[in-house]
Every structure is written in C-alpha cells, then in structure tokens.
Amino acid sequence: MRAVKSVLVSAGILRRQYSDLSEDVVLIRAMRDSNLPKFLKDDVHLFFGIIDDLFPGVQVPFIDYGNVRKTIES
C-alpha cells in the first residue's frame, strides 16, 4: 500500500504543478517517476508494456533534463 500511496502523492504534486496535463498523463508520469529508479534494466521493458496495456494510445513525453543527465552519465 505504501507504493500506491507514493504514486498517488506524486500524482497530486504533478497535477498541481501541471494542471494543463490530462489525468492519464499525470498518472503515467507519477508511476514512471516513482518506479523506474527501482527497476533493473530487464524490468523496464516489462514495465512499459504494462503501462501500454493499461493506457493504450497515451503518449507521455520524457522530460529533457539537459545538462543534469549529461553530468550524471559522465
């Protein structure tokens, strides 16, 4: 239940920050942001398959973190 609560709290924060986004996109982003760091590389593909099954046709763009991502990778 803690995992569900953390996704809902994250979705609430995202909803307040980006009130123009649809509820589907907010929920997918919350699930993605709170779960992806916990997965192994092989599990990411399965996770996105589940998301595609739950929300068919909904496309959620990834956020470009720019220099932060380049710095972390280097």
How many Å apart are CA 31 and CA 4, to the nearest integer? 9
Does an H or E element contain 45, and which?
helix 41-54
The torsion angle over the Cα atoms of residues 3, 54, 30 and 67, rounded to 10 degrees, is 130
Q: What is the pLDDT of residue 30?
A: 92
Q: What is the pTM of this model?
A: 0.76
How many Å apart are CA 40 and CA 7, to the nearest integer? 19
What are 9-54's pLDDT values in tens digits?
A: 999 998 998 888 889 999 999 999 888 889 999 999 999 999 999 9
For the cut 90, the answer to whether the pLDDT of residue 62 exceeds it is no
Residue 46: domain span:
2-73
For the cut 90, the answer to whether the pLDDT of residue 73 exceeds it is no
Number of domains in the chain: 1
Helices (H) then strands (E): counts for the chain = 4, 0
Q: What is the pLDDT of residue 44?
A: 92
Least confident of 1-15, 31-45, 57-71: 57-71
